[in-house]
Structure 1
């Protein structure tokens, strides 16, 4: 994709006129069409009340289909949730009694707390030079481990897992493969079938750029006929319009977890964000992110800054950690200069998306130099 195309995409984000946003891993700014899609619901409700109910339901299903295509799933395998923690809690509740869990030491709490709270035996795997190679994970898959929980991209380091190799390992070992895709979806291509993922959860306010309130759950059709999710409500059944308060036969789709009315504006915003991302192409977006990260690392090297992120392309993501002892203070000072970053892991976390450009990186480098 040519520079003019990226410049046109950047122009969709009004916040970029005021700030240098290098914090997609924390929370991305909204594109104008995404904000407008969410606001449209409120305008319709203002002018028409609830008369658009059926229209909203159709739009919701259109978004479900768009999300399913985006991750390589079928609509029946996709559900909308509140956030990653909610989705992971649903999966943990549904798999209770299946065995011990293996997860990574660097995981965000959303990946792990649901399993601990549900009473699972959880084993934490230490990284090897900041990485979790498949060979290391295979050695840790003891006989009692029946569930593997990992992020596609680790939030503290930016390490990107080889999902397809890990999926093949899990199938060979008979281990249930659960993925937190929050730090990758929208930035890196994700295909649940190619990676042989059994369950995947993700929030959509980071790299997917849909704002807070929209999140998703993927459950493989192989599990849907027999699985029992821990939550249910009037919209969990096949025919919710019947409003039968005695029929507890849940539908055999992932959307059974959508127990009641959903937050339409967040989901409609997600639909617009997915349309934007699909139009640009996730392969193009990944390539753009890698190009920007290469320039960032080059400039950091020139100023003598060290990183705590695996830099080889095979495990690269959109996240770069700049080593810094007083990261929180550095991030605070950068914010005062209009540069939005995060303090994570061993330092300042920089997360570049397609809407960034070299000018953002140059401004960041100048800001870092001013910190001394």
Structure 2
């Protein structure tokens, strides 16, 4: 990974443990973006066909990368926008299960529409609590983040698959923003019905791009009225024959921003998602071991077998400032400091953070 690290200029300034806030821009993506805009500068409207080709290729790349049918991929500017469009088409009488303190854009989108909402609390046995609530509460929709934004708590993906198998009518909607790009993921075989994600974090694609993935069967559970000329591919005759995913794309899409997502997916595939997954797993194990030794993790994280690469350590404002003074990029979240690691991080950097926390 050392050669890949040279792509990221920010890494020369310190330890970047803040991907959960913003994924890094890298040299080759910047080169592509500059070339794209230079073509637009020189060619004007002659750029249009190339732009449409970029959008089409991005849709195909996302489908292939996450194992989702191309026609079931919607391109959206961010997760929040995509989810709000989706929920406008959901029967208001549906009973919804959420996780307490999940990402606000996820929970608020349901709460603000007056659905019959119940909650499970975050705990080490979250999956068991969800299962009991689904069975006992006759839940229609389960919505949650695959990785919790506050402390990196990761839902067991095999659990979701089993839950869907045992409850085939349950609609499972997930936010993959803090997950997608950090590890391998097979949407088709996940049991998940809808996955939405913004791509500016772990996919390193910059702001303004994201996606929604849909299972075949879930499309019959929503009545989407969103429409626009772009949804019909600029064809008057297609007004009444717009496929489900395209209804999330009523207007023009930016070939710069979505082309950046396509470029990043290609970049990840050149590195190898198996390699990225293995490296991030190693970082997760290392960080958890070291922070646990220091008593910096909550019990619900300590007792979990698997964890993401996001950690919220027990730390006050002075500790946060100490990390910043030692050139560690991190964020205050809740009552602690959140540190998040990606494939451009190293185990040596985790050791360096531990030394800072111990010695200053």
TM, length-normalised to structure 2: 0.91
**In 2, Cα distance between equivalents of 1:348 and 1:93:** 36
TM, length-normalised to structure 1: 0.89
Corresponding residue of 2:297? 307
Corresponding residue of 1:79? 74
Q: 1:361 to 1:221 in 2, by over 3 A?
A: same
Corresponding residue of 2:277? 286
Q: Is the 8 A contact 1:165 1:195 kept in 2?
A: no
**In 2, Cα distance between equivalents of 1:335 and 1:231:** 45
Q: Give 1:329 deviation, angstroms.
A: 4.9
Q: Secondary structure at the match of 2:204?
A: coil
Q: Is the 8 A contact 2:55 2:253 kept in 1?
A: no
Q: Secondary structure at the match of 1:23?
A: coil
Q: Is the 8 A contact 1:236 1:250 kept in 2?
A: no
Corresponding residue of 2:44? 49
RMSD: 2.2
1:1-372 counterparts in 2 under 5 A? Answer: 6-97=1-92, 99-129=94-124, 131-133=125-127, 135-141=128-134, 142-173=136-167, 174-224=169-219, 227-237=222-232, 240-243=233-236, 248-300=239-291, 304-308=294-298, 310-311=301-302, 314-324=305-315, 326=316, 328-369=317-358
Deviations 1:253-302 (A, max 9, x none): 41221111112211111111111112223332122112123333444456
Gaps of 5+ in 1: 1-5
Q: Is the 8 A contact 1:159 1:317 kept in 2?
A: yes
**In 1, Cα distance between equivalents of 2:6 and 2:271:** 14
Q: Secondary structure at the match of 1:50?
A: helix
Deviates more, 1:341-350 or 1:185-194: 341-350
Q: 1:137 to 1:212 in 2, by over 3 A?
A: same
Q: 1:48 to 1:191 in 2, by over 3 A?
A: same
Q: Secondary structure at the match of 2:126?
A: coil
Deviations 1:32-78 (A, max 9, x none): 22223333321111111121111111111111111111111011011
Deviates more, 1:138-147 or 1:330-339: 330-339
**In 2, Cα distance between equivalents of 1:249 and 1:225:** 16
Corresponding residue of 1:3? none
Q: Give 1:87 deviation, angstroms.
A: 1.6
**In 2, Cα distance between equivalents of 1:46 and 1:339:** 38
Q: Is the 8 A contact 2:181 2:202 kept in 1?
A: yes
**In 1, Cα distance between equivalents of 2:93 and 2:170:** 10
Number of aligned residue pairs: give it: 357
Q: Secondary structure at the match of 2:57?
A: helix
Q: 1:80 to 1:99 in 2, by over 3 A?
A: same
Q: 1:356 to 1:242 in 2, by over 3 A?
A: same
Q: Is the 8 A contact 2:17 2:329 kept in 1?
A: yes
